[in-house]
Structure 1
Amino acid sequence: MKKIIAGTIGNCVHVAGTMNFLTLADNEGYKTEFIGIGITIDQLLSEIKDKKPDIVALSYRLTPEPLNRIMEELKDKIEKEKIFDIIWIFGGTEPTSLVAEKWGIFTKIFYGYEDIDEVIAYLKGKNYSEEESYPKDLISRIKSKYPYPILRHHLGLPTIDETIEAIKKVAEAKVLDVISIAPDQNAQEFFFDQRNMDKRLNGAGGVPLRTKEDFKKLYEAAQRGNYPLLRSYSGTKNIIKFAEVLNENINNAWCAIPLFWYSELDKRGPRTLKEAIIENQQVMAWHGERNIPVEVNEAHHWSLRDAHDAIGVATAYIAAYNAKKMGVKNYIAQYMFNVPAFISPEMDLGKILAKIELVESLEDNNFKVYRQARAGLTSFPANLYQAKGQLAASAYLAMAIKPHIYHVVGYCEAHHAAKAEDIIESCMIVRGVLKNEFLGSVDMTKDKNVINRKNKLIEEANLIIDSIKSLTLDIEDPLGDPDILVEAVKIGILDAPHLIGSNIAKGQLKTRVVSGGLYAYDEKEARIISEKERIKKIFKEENLQLRKS
């Protein structure tokens, strides 16, 4: 365990930066000690002799000119006392850091504009000044920074050229670890069948990618700055062929695929529900065989359609279960906060913690879960000032789950598609939240109301899971069986208010936010319906017997 002592020198009393640095060093396993404010060089040398540190961190943030005399004294006394086995670090404003730099004492200088992840990288023994310092795969990138989360943001502008220039700007800004490419809807459905594209819709929903070369151009644009990883939406048709294109041309950082969706269920693709489940499982298996991480972005699809919180928790588990069954080794569990937009923070956190507990119960030596948090898109107001506040507030709440990845949603999304400048600003807002978070925060996961909500949702989600298992006696693995999963949708075990009129879903579920949580709701009787009551009613109507697993 390396020992760091730190203090301010001269007559400088500005200690916030020094204390922040020591907090980060503590988190990285260093033994740290603050030795004082405005200490003299003689006091500093006395502390060094007494404490025998490996690293000495000094700070000075006043007028730069007097620092020259302090540095001259320090250099002379280092040489006189033959103190040559210590690493010296300096932190200050840019003007004072430039003064410190010219004296040749310090092996590392922080000039005041570095981000927290650069400080953490230094403490981990990494140097982010060279290309090879930026890991080229997702898991290595996560491990190089955790507990500081890597940041992700999506990007897809109406033309290839605009998107290329935006990627270059974002990469050079060094604010983002993963750029999620958003192909337009035409590319997602008709990349291999372009004669059926409606060209009037080119650029709708993202960048109009039409060839493998288009993907390569985006990849090349990212080879600068902090060399962000690229990933892309997985498409809604011919998904394995699309996965091959992504893997070969952008080194797709991970696959994101639903289990039930992009089908007749949401009408975002031509597949029947059963076909979609089968193909989505095959895509999971394809990536699992190649050791490419997989995200099954399932639960928030139900919640965005106003399914109540218990269904959101149950489908988070079912999604992860299917990924594990299909051989996925590194699973990216996306946790979308603020869904619905009017859920309260404590009920929201309770729901997310319930998902985490169930999903991570599946972990073993062959299945590792990485947490990805994000804000819900529908929670952002069109007023851009309020939207910035929402971005910061949601990010702060999300830090309670200690995510490995934070998916930054551009604050401007309710107003316009994020351009490079919007993405950079949004990332800097989140980085500001993270900077404060790493000073130490209240552990909201210990709140009594949060814990009670988590436990209740786990109980209700297990009722949903058990009810799906009860649909068959003949199938050994019902949670991974496409026919059983389709049946769960048909009879309404899995349902959502927005599915009314569906040709495959029941579409009869009614829900309402009550005291900050989203519940199944009886509108005639104006009361919450418990999950036990809801499931029992479905089984009675279908003349089925509910069995406990």
Structure 2
Amino acid sequence: MIGGAIGDDVHVGGVVRFLQMAEQLGYEVRCLGPAVSVERLLEEVAAYDPEIVAVGYRLTPESGRAVLAHLARAAREQGQAGRRWVLGATDPVAEHGRALGFFEAVFGGSADWQDVVDYLRGAPTRKAGGIPPQTVVERILWKRPFPLLRHHFGQPTVEATVEGIRRISEAGVLDVISLGTDQNAQEHFFRPEEMDPREHGAGGVPVRTPDDLRALYAASRTGNYPLMRCYSGTRDQLAWAEMLHETIHNAWAAVPLFWYSQLDGRSQRTLLESIPEVQAVFRWHAERGIPVESNESHHWSLRDAPDVVAVAAAYIAAYNAKQAGVTDYVQQLMWNNPPLTSPAMDLAKMLAKLELVESLAGPNFRVWRECRTGLTSMPAGFDRAKGHLAASTFLQMAVKPDIVHIVGHSEYHHAATAEDVIEGCHVVNGAIQLALQGLPDMTRDEAVQARKAELVQEAKLLLEAIAGLAPAGVEDPLTHAPTLAAAVRTGLLDAPHLVGNPAARGEVAVRFTDGACRAVDRRSGRVLTEAERIALLLAEEIV
């Protein structure tokens, strides 16, 4: 590929970005620079013999029309019109370029970079009626270096949600629509007599029949054909798994190991009931080759658990998925969680989770990284929330995510509309595109590395202590539901917000020091090492 800004145009930045993106995708590129005359451009084209010629022009539409017409005429006269010519320009100049019928592709200033990437890959674009890959792993590999974008969506009625999904799909900016269903559906779908009519539509779309789900999926069969997925219900999870697979072709399952139980009140299942059910859900998806996400560890941090608890919980969930036979595992990393966590300590915590979880990786267990902005960290005010979303996404790019889960910037005020979702995708895309131009390696920061090492070491101590709760004869304590329930009951896995919870201890005290969430002695406020915390808890358990 060869490219340059033509005529008197010295604005070569757009051409350079286009060539950089092409180079990342495997093209051999050559940039001619700014203000390249038509005559010189054609000489270079004849000598270089490129597959694609990229032309940029950002001056006035009137002069642009003359320069582009001169280029098209001269190229035809010299037998160069048969090449693949591409124009990048302001929107008004782009209109003149399209009218010439000379360029294979024209990208105006408002063009979506995903369209540019589609073109460079030679892949079918939504404008050409092509359908992108329809499994999450294939779509991740297809879209690289960009991560997939995922966003929750669910309006108070099925009809409004269907129409919103159609608008989002046609916009072509979102890869994964994550259905948000109301709590009545999540807990009582298969027991409708238990639903509270006053709660219909509270917190999401009130799906009541499989046909509701089929209608939602059908609305996504347009535009860029986004994948669709939905969290498992908080009860009857195997029945939910089967239904989601049959109706919306659930792109991947998402179910926590400890939660959606008495622990968070989303159902009344005890841990001794819920953990085996989740393990069965893991196996069900594994048998069908469907990827699994255990949205586990961030639930502990949402309740202000010490960082080490969240890191250990991430490993336990991934380990259970692997032992159940899952081959493609989505590790969700919720940043800014708890909200007082500093960016540096946030990065360290995520690196610790990844080190432990990815230690399980191998030919039969692939780990895909999914990042998201902290649910409770979004500030009030649309503009502030969008700024926070962009900044958080920029930091997340330090770990090279495969999926970015966008948290709606409107959520402090109202459930995201289709327009909110589309706007959020544009905000996040801007941050991602900037990051892909080249970030400094923030993961190598000394403070980040020191905290990561500390968390890894302490999480291993915690995992050993949990395994030590198992009765004699238990071969695999970290998949043994009574042992895992005991870890919560004794407080080895604990969070301040669990105070008064019948399934948990709820007595751990924490303090944020240097931006990290650490356990402290409740009386003195002194930070406890994990070895000290474990020793105190086990001593009380023995007594």
TM-score by length of 1: 0.95
Partner of 1:369: 367
Which sits farther off after the overlay, 520-529 or 276-285? 520-529
Q: Indicate yes or no: 2:59 matched with 1:62.
A: yes
Query: 1:65: how far off?
Result: 2.8
SS state of the match for residue 409, structure 2? coil
Whether the 8 Å contact between 1:24 and 1:438 is mirrored in structure 2 is no
Following superposition of structure 1 onto structure 2, how do residues 57-206 of structure 1 map, counting pairs within 5 Å?
A: 57-83=54-80, 86-128=83-125, 129-206=127-204
Query: 1:319: how far off?
Result: 0.6
Query: 1:222: how far off?
Result: 1.2
Distance 1:131 1:308, change over 3 A: farther
Write out the 4+ residue segments of structure 1 that deviate beyond 4 Å after TM superposition.
none
Whether the 8 Å contact between 1:257 and 1:297 is mirrored in structure 2 is yes
Partner of 1:383: 381
Partner of 1:496: 495
Partner of 1:547: none
Give the distance between the partners of 1:316 and 1:441, measured in 2 at CA: 27
Query: 1:131: how far off?
Result: 4.3
Give the distance between the partners of 1:404 and 1:360, measured in 2 at CA: 14
Query: 1:81: how far off?
Result: 3.7
Q: Indicate yes or no: 2:18 matched with 1:21.
A: yes
Partner of 1:7: 4
Whether the 8 Å contact between 2:5 and 2:56 is mirrored in structure 1 is yes
Letter in 1 for 2:450: N
Query: 1:55: how far off?
Result: 2.1
Give the distance between the partners of 1:504 and 1:171, measured in 2 at CA: 42
Which sits farther off after the overlay, 435-444 or 259-268? 435-444
Give the distance between the partners of 1:371 and 1:11, measured in 2 at CA: 45
Whether the 8 Å contact between 2:256 and 2:294 is mirrored in structure 1 is yes
TM-score by length of 2: 0.96
Query: 1:340: how far off?
Result: 0.5
Following superposition of structure 1 onto structure 2, how do residues 418-437 of structure 1 map, counting pairs within 5 Å?
A: 418-437=416-435
Query: 1:479: how far off?
Result: 1.0
Give the distance between the partners of 1:204 and 1:68, measured in 2 at CA: 55
Give the distance between the partners of 1:485 and 1:408, measured in 2 at CA: 31
Q: Deviations over 1:346-405 (max 9, x none)?
A: 000110111111111111111111111001111012222221211111111111111111
Give the distance between the partners of 1:68 and 1:412, measured in 2 at CA: 42
Give the distance between the partners of 1:15 and 1:79, measured in 2 at CA: 25
Give the distance between the partners of 2:196 and 2:101, measured in 1 at CA: 64
Partner of 1:208: 206
Query: Among 248, 251, 261, which residue is 2:249 paired with?
Result: 251
Q: Deviations over 1:213-265 (max 9, x none)?
A: 11111111111221111111211111111111111111111110010111122
Q: Deviations over 1:501-530 (max 9, x none)?
A: 222212111111111000001132221101
Partner of 1:509: 508
Whether the 8 Å contact between 1:6 and 1:58 is mirrored in structure 2 is yes
Letter in 1 for 2:490: I
Partner of 1:527: 526
Q: Deviations over 1:429-467 (max 9, x none)?
A: 111112212222222112111111111111111111111
Whether the 8 Å contact between 2:124 and 2:130 is mirrored in structure 1 is no
Query: 1:26: how far off?
Result: 2.1
Give the distance between the partners of 2:311 and 2:23, measured in 1 at CA: 35
Partner of 2:30: 33
Whether the 8 Å contact between 1:171 and 1:224 is mirrored in structure 2 is yes
Give the distance between the partners of 1:305 and 1:449, measured in 2 at CA: 25
Q: Indicate yes or no: 2:326 matched with 1:328.
A: yes
Whether the 8 Å contact between 1:258 and 1:298 is mirrored in structure 2 is yes
**Unpaired stretches in structure 1, ≥5 consecutive residues:** 545-549
Give the distance between the partners of 2:60 and 2:191, measured in 1 at CA: 66
Following superposition of structure 1 onto structure 2, how do residues 287-302 of structure 1 map, counting pairs within 5 Å?
A: 287-302=285-300
Distance 1:84 1:381, change over 3 A: closer
Partner of 1:450: 448
Whether the 8 Å contact between 2:81 and 2:102 is mirrored in structure 1 is no
Give the distance between the partners of 1:376 and 1:6, measured in 2 at CA: 41
Whether the 8 Å contact between 1:18 and 1:59 is mirrored in structure 2 is yes
Whether the 8 Å contact between 2:498 and 2:504 is mirrored in structure 1 is yes
Letter in 2 for 1:526: G
Query: 1:23: how far off?
Result: 1.8
SS state of the match for residue 261, structure 1? coil
Query: Among 36, 42, 55, which residue is 1:45 paired with?
Result: 42
Give the distance between the partners of 2:469 and 2:50, measured in 1 at CA: 65
SS state of the match for residue 133, structure 1? coil
Give the distance between the partners of 2:515 and 2:308, measured in 1 at CA: 14
Give the distance between the partners of 2:129 and 2:41, measured in 1 at CA: 37
Give the distance between the partners of 1:26 and 1:79, measured in 2 at CA: 28
Distance 1:497 1:68, change over 3 A: closer
Query: 1:281: how far off?
Result: 0.5
Whether the 8 Å contact between 2:234 and 2:266 is mirrored in structure 1 is yes
Give the distance between the partners of 2:69 and 2:201, measured in 1 at CA: 61
Which sits farther off after the overlay, 344-353 or 226-235? 226-235
Whether the 8 Å contact between 1:168 and 1:221 is mirrored in structure 2 is yes
Residue correspondences, number = 541
Whether the 8 Å contact between 1:131 and 1:227 is mirrored in structure 2 is no
Whether the 8 Å contact between 2:154 and 2:180 is mirrored in structure 1 is yes
Letter in 2 for 1:292: I
Whether the 8 Å contact between 1:231 and 1:252 is mirrored in structure 2 is yes
Q: Indicate yes or no: 2:264 matched with 1:266.
A: yes
SS state of the match for residue 524, structure 2? coil
Partner of 1:315: 313
Whether the 8 Å contact between 1:351 and 1:453 is mirrored in structure 2 is yes
Give the distance between the partners of 1:366 and 1:255, measured in 2 at CA: 18
**Unpaired stretches in structure 2, ≥5 consecutive residues:** none
